[in-house]
Structure 1
Amino acid sequence: MTHAVTSDVQKAAPATGEFRRSWPTLIFSTIGAGVGLSSLGYILGTLVVPLQTEFGWGRGEINLASLVSSLGLAAALPFVGRFLDRFGVKRVVMVSVPLFVIAMILLSTLTSSLATFLSFYAVAGILGAGTSAVTYSKAVVEKFDRRRGIALGIVAGGLGAAGLVLPPLMGVVIADSGWRAAYLVMALLAALPFVLVFFARLTPPSAVAAVDRSTLPGLTLRLAIRRREFWSLCVVFFLLGWALLTMIPHFVPLLIDSGVDPVQAAFLSSLVGAGTVIARPVIGWLFDRFYATYVAVPLFLAAALGCLLLLWAGPGAAPLTALLIGIGFGAEIDLMSYLSSRYFGPRAFGALYSLVYSVFMIGSAFGPVFAGFAFDGTGSYTIPLILAAVMMGVAAVILLTLPRFSRADVR
């Protein structure tokens, strides 16, 4: 049974009208998601070997950056979610984007030790929380109902495009100008949403402040955290975050260890983004027409198979594995925002989705770090790959046990 009932105005509007009215919001959100905090996960893999070479850090130590930034994000997101519900997307973006840009500049100019490197990543996670997918999903959920699935899929495709474009771009930048230049390029890209926000046709802050949220449909925060659906989603996306993010920052060093040229390894890694870019809009379109869980579960199982293929077949399976993981990652982000909107409704969507996303980020932080230390201890990625496959299988089973939300809301 669903607890999210959309407004009569939204339900009465033609589905095509949603895109006609709200395409600036969709473009803003797609680009913002691609160049926000989440992009750091895609570029870290290209930085591992250069950082090892300059500072002598281990791969587990370098991947602590993912851990501290994700924990910083997880700590900040519940506050960001409440700010989004209270003040709106525009105000959050106008504060958070400049702070995130500053964090990128600090990483480029002041990193001199592992302590400073990790500190700046933690700062980026906290100050850049408003540049995460939670903010841009909130903007889309406010504008789309009948085509919410494909709209969220397009926005999530921004993350996939980052995975497709950023690794080879940073590989070229690093080869030409060094790893510090990569963070300066990221700072320039991260500033784009600050310009686009003025053209995005977002709900005005005055209108957000005027809304009595107690009159909106959906669950309150207090009621939602008492329900099984909320905790099931938290467990599922913790497992999927750990499993699917485990190998993304390790893909490039794994291939380099196998004798692949670093620039070629970066291009192969970008296939994760290719799979995501292709999958997310298609998956979102399917969510609007079929029961979302039944669409996503087979894709997670395929991604689990991809991890095992990388283990059994080695680098020769890297292109297929990258595509399967990318497709699974595409289904994951889509499903997280989509199910949150359908089970929770708009009343406290920012706060509730931010909590689910925080748990997802904690899982995605520990997965790569565990894989890095497992490699440092054993000299291989066997244990992390097997664990990731098992986690995706468990998450699929839990998803299949969730109660169905009403088909009437999937429009």
Structure 2
Amino acid sequence: MSTFNLDSQVPPGKTRATEDSPLRADAPVSENAADRIDRAWPVLLGAGLCMFCGQPAVVLFTFGTFVREIVASTNWSPVELAAAIAPATILASMLAPFVGRFADKIGIRRLALIGGPAFALGFGLLGSLSVSSTTFIALLAITCGLGFAATPLLYAQLATGWFARRRGLALSLIFACSSLGVVFWSPFAIQLIGLYGWRTAYAVMGLCAGTIISLSALLLLRDPPRSARAGSAGQAPGLTLSEAMRRATFWKILAIFFLITGTLAGTTVNLPVILQKIDIPAQTAAMAVSVAGLAMLIGRLSAGLLLDRWFAPRVTCLSVVLPLLAFATLLFDQSRSTFIIAAMLVGFGLGAELDAAAYIVSRGFGLRAFGAIYGMVTLSYGLASAIGPGAMGVAFGASVAPRLIFSISIGLLLTALVLLLTIRADHLPYGATLSDDARN
């Protein structure tokens, strides 16, 4: 039975990867590394811990708590502070393609070792140097820029490299850890703010998140042994970014996940506002938000199991069809029970789409330049995560009727569904079981 230990017999012509020489695309690896495809559970644990400290959990979902406390303790503009998350999110999204390229070149583990301390440094600067709302906005963007090791891009790349038959499951477990992080970091932030104030709270959170990422990279993460399944040219199978961009499938994928993420994230983030607009009681609003969060976790776990068994674009259709049913129902019935069910369906769709994006990219374009290609997809739905909630928030602020917003959401999701249905099996040519390729 193969183990995670690399100190096994190395065949002639191969060299052994060590702690100082992590497995990379340009480093020869042992046959034992190939045997660990689909069984690299320590790597998956490390990736999960890093995603537990990811930017969505540590930055985005704690942001509202910090803004409230900052406004209470300073004279800064609450309107300016409330808008600070948009440029930070956009900057992180814009950097994603470059982070993916670096991961392809120098390895994911090395980036994580650098990125953990960088993330902690960003939080330290945010807490100590924010002397006005303007500097806070700038430093929050810098913190997100330095948080490149706290983004899904790197760990989706790890999962696709280490897992073949169980790739969907591996991706779902990693993204589920991000949901668990959302559950943990917000209450932790509240406790720290109450004890030490918001400045120290930011520094402590950054130190904790950066330490967990660094230790996980040092002790658990290993770059996938792509050279073990490389072809005759010595490269992992797949397309370069420029080759991928010449294919219609690439642009379809970008459009699909931009539409899905923008629509569903816009609804989820603004759910309390939507419920308030139609006079739903605060208790019901809180219940609907909790249901959406739980459904998001279930969606991430179940999508992984389905992706390993059925054609990925058809599985992704669930991320569209279920929210479509929710919005269509809300056009005619806006009762308390209907909203709770709708929140569950939307949350499920938002949870499943991240798993599906990484899975489809790996099957559509291979692993040769996965980081760069998936970085572009990350840019697409990262921008959607900023634009969707903002646009929907502006619409509600302008007193646009909820039914009109639901109708527009249906139109956007129908467009994504049609694009998904145009993707055929021959558009995803890298669907072979890579664990078999690795042993050949």
TM-score by length of 2: 0.77
Relative to its length, the structure with more helix (as a share) is 1
Segment of structure 1 superposing worse, 62-71 or 395-404: 62-71
What is the correspondence of 1:4-403 to structure 2 with a 5 Å cutoff? 18-20=37-39, 22-39=40-57, 40-47=59-66, 50=69, 55-58=76-79, 61-62=80-81, 64-170=83-189, 180=199, 183-184=202-203, 186-191=205-210, 192-203=212-223, 215-251=235-271, 260=282, 269-307=289-327, 313=334, 319-378=340-399, 385-403=406-424
Judged with a 3 Å threshold, the aligned counterparts in structure 2 of structure 1 residues 213 and 152 are, in CA distance, closer, same or farther, namely farther
Q: Following TM superposition, by how much is the alpha carbon of 1:129 offset from its aligned partner in structure 2, in angstroms?
A: 2.3
Q: Following TM superposition, by how much is the alpha carbon of 1:403 offset from its aligned partner in structure 2, in angstroms?
A: 2.3
Is contact 1:306-1:324 (8 Å) kept? yes
Judged with a 3 Å threshold, the aligned counterparts in structure 2 of structure 1 residues 363 and 218 are, in CA distance, closer, same or farther, namely same
Q: Following TM superposition, by how much is the alpha carbon of 1:218 offset from its aligned partner in structure 2, in angstroms?
A: 0.8
Is contact 2:291-2:343 (8 Å) kept? yes
Judged with a 3 Å threshold, the aligned counterparts in structure 2 of structure 1 residues 321 and 244 are, in CA distance, closer, same or farther, namely same
Amino acid at match of 2:51: A
Q: Deviations over 1:256-280 (max 9, x none)?
A: 886637xx97776344332222222
2:432 paired residue number: 409
| Structure 2 gap ranges (5+) | 1-30, 435-440
Is contact 2:93-2:379 (8 Å) kept? yes
Is contact 1:75-1:358 (8 Å) kept? yes
- RMSD over aligned CA atoms reads 3.6
Is contact 1:163-1:270 (8 Å) kept? no
Q: Deviations over 1:59-89 (max 9, x none)?
A: xx55533321222112212221111011101
Judged with a 3 Å threshold, the aligned counterparts in structure 2 of structure 1 residues 285 and 351 are, in CA distance, closer, same or farther, namely same
Judged with a 3 Å threshold, the aligned counterparts in structure 2 of structure 1 residues 252 and 174 are, in CA distance, closer, same or farther, namely farther
Judged with a 3 Å threshold, the aligned counterparts in structure 2 of structure 1 residues 63 and 288 are, in CA distance, closer, same or farther, namely farther
* Structure 2: distance between partners of 1:105 and 1:270: 31
Is contact 1:163-1:272 (8 Å) kept? no
* Structure 1: distance between partners of 2:302 and 2:56: 21
* Structure 1: distance between partners of 2:430 and 2:118: 41
| Structure 1 gap ranges (5+) | 1-8
Percent sequence identity is 29
TM-score by length of 1: 0.82
Q: Following TM superposition, by how much is the alpha carbon of 1:349 offset from its aligned partner in structure 2, in angstroms?
A: 0.6
Judged with a 3 Å threshold, the aligned counterparts in structure 2 of structure 1 residues 74 and 408 are, in CA distance, closer, same or farther, namely closer
Is contact 2:259-2:412 (8 Å) kept? yes
* Structure 2: distance between partners of 1:100 and 1:292: 34
The structure whose RCO (Cα within 8 Å, separation 6+) is larger is 1
1:5 paired residue number: none
Judged with a 3 Å threshold, the aligned counterparts in structure 2 of structure 1 residues 80 and 108 are, in CA distance, closer, same or farther, namely same
* Structure 1: distance between partners of 2:127 and 2:401: 30
Q: Following TM superposition, by how much is the alpha carbon of 1:160 offset from its aligned partner in structure 2, in angstroms?
A: 2.1
* Structure 2: distance between partners of 1:106 and 1:381: 41
* Structure 1: distance between partners of 2:328 and 2:208: 35
Q: Following TM superposition, by how much is the alpha carbon of 1:360 offset from its aligned partner in structure 2, in angstroms?
A: 1.2
Judged with a 3 Å threshold, the aligned counterparts in structure 2 of structure 1 residues 279 and 31 are, in CA distance, closer, same or farther, namely same
Q: Deviations over 1:244-295 (max 9, x none)?
A: 221344345666886637xx97776344332222222221111111111222
Q: Secondary structure at the match of 1:246?
A: helix
Is contact 2:261-2:384 (8 Å) kept? yes
